[in-house]
Amino acid sequence: MTPFVAPAPPSLSEVSAVFCLLLILLVPFAGVGLTMINSGLGRARSAAHAMLSALCVTAVAALVYVIVGVAWQGAAGRPDHFLMIAGKAWGWIASERFFVRGLRLDLSPAALVVLLQIFSVGLAGLIPLSSGADRWRLGAICASTALLAGWTYPLFAHWAWGGGWLAQLGANCGLGRGFVDGGGSGTIQVVGGVTALSITWILGPRRGKFSAEALPAALPGHNVVLVLLGCGFAWIGWMALNSAGAMLFLGVEPGRVVLIAVNTTLCAAASGLAAGVVTRVRFGRPDASLSSNGWIAGLVASSAAAAFLKPAASMIVGGVAGILVVSVADFLEFQLAIDDPGGAVSVHAVGGLWGVLAVALLADAGPGGQWLAQLVGIATLLGFVLPLSYGLNWLLDRVYRQRVAREGELQGMDLHELGAGAYPEFDVHGDDFLQR
């Protein structure tokens, strides 16, 4: 383990750096959008809890990431630890200092990366919230987010974005440009998505979700308007995220931001419509919440390849994402008895994996071997990040029970944990529509 300096990041002119900064400042809209969707797809009696949880996740993620996460993740061109294998150096963890010491927070690419990552790690932390809705304790949410922001996320982000071994696959093995993931389909979305899967497994399904015969009951979200409005906010944030990520991690010039915004939009549009059509064919009417999940899945899938896709290809990426999200959501619920109220696993994990794969199949990302680099990235997300995330959350559950007590679930998270509901002037219905 020797510190060395990872390959340098692309340099930015002052004008490009300011432009990139402005894009980064729009990224929190993606988090706002996801928060509205999470809250809208949950129960009315847990709406305030969902909103406060999102705020806490964003806060914990930012604090923990700055305290320790930056030190593990680093940035391309910054000090790194590497292993020498077969005569080649493979970076595995950064050697920055805690509390962002030793890094000037100006318009340099490394400083812009830190700012973008503070928002991105919060975004990744919001994803599991939707899978644990209506039964995940606030304290456990904060502790789980600290593990994600302090360890799981920075480690993989270093490998993919910080000049680590996945990014080096091109230089060391001739696999295209190395693992390509400009806007974070894998690094943000799949990392958040597999954490969401871990959380659903650890928490178990909501009470009343499955009958004794394992048949799922419909527990509709309480505010579809909020969900659809959230899609709009997420769209703005995602265009900025994909553009800033491509500039900082792939070195694309600012002029390509137009293509990235067009591709992001087309991908979301095709995905949202595809999900609407699939639900129309299956259920006789388009389903609003699944269509909105389709929209988000399109944004998720667009992130990795938006800088390299042709517009027609981005429509294909989106169309496939829309079909996938509905099919996988059904499969998870009916076949695997996974209760994921907001569809985090189908939208973020599956949509993100598809986005990473789409770079290999449809994007013009550079020299040959790119598809193998993308497969290695997918193997790492499934074979390393999922077990790590599950293991950390399983250990956390041993020392601090993550699921709320039975009476809290029946009462609602708002009253049980916060002492007041989100809608005090309205009747909030209990489980009277469920079979007992």
Partner 1 sequence: MKLAGFLLLVAGWAIVVAAVALLPSAGARVGFVLAGLAVELFGLALAVRSHLVLQAEGEGE
Per-residue binding letters, 208-247, with partner 1 (x by CB under 8 A)? --x-x-x---------------------------------
Q: Which of 1, 15, 86, 420 binds partner 1 (CB under 8 A)?
A: 86
Contact 264, 318 (CB under 8 A): no
Which residues between 334 and 353 bind partner 1 (CB under 8 A)? 336-338
Dihedrals phi, psi of 420, to nearest 5 degrees: -155, 145
- Tell me: does residue 201 bind partner 1 (CB under 8 A): yes
Please, which residue, 384 or 423, has the CB nearer to partner 1? 384
- Tell me: does residue 205 bind partner 1 (CB under 8 A): yes
Which residues between 384 and 403 bind partner 1 (CB under 8 A)? 384, 386-387, 390-391
- CA-CA-CA-CA dihedral for 8, 10, 14, 19, to nearest 10: -130
Instruction: Quote the CA–CA distance of 173 and 171 in Å, as a whole number.
Output: 6
Please, which residue, 19 or 92, has the CB nearer to partner 1? 92
Please, which residue, 52 or 386, has the CB nearer to partner 1? 386
Owner of token pair 């959350």? 393
Per-residue binding letters, 91-110, with partner 1 (x by CB under 8 A)? --------------------
Residue 169 to residues 132, 172, 175, 256, Cα–Cα distance (Å): 36, 5, 6, 25
Residue 98: left (phi > 0), alpha (psi -120 to 50), or beta? beta
Which residues between 151 and 170 bind partner 1 (CB under 8 A)? 169
Q: Which helix (H) or strand (E) holds 138?
A: helix 138-147
**What's 427's DSSP letter?**
-
- Tell me: does residue 355 bind partner 1 (CB under 8 A): no
Cα angle 43, 347, 368 (rounded to 5 degrees) comes to 170
Which residues between 46 and 85 bind partner 1 (CB under 8 A)? 85
Q: Which of 315, 359, 378, 422 binds partner 1 (CB under 8 A)?
A: 378
Dihedrals phi, psi of 404, to nearest 5 degrees: -70, 155
Which residues are at the interface with partner 1 (CB under 8 A)? 85-86, 88, 90, 169, 173, 175, 201, 204-205, 210, 212, 214, 336-338, 369, 372, 375-376, 378-380, 382-384, 386-387, 390-391
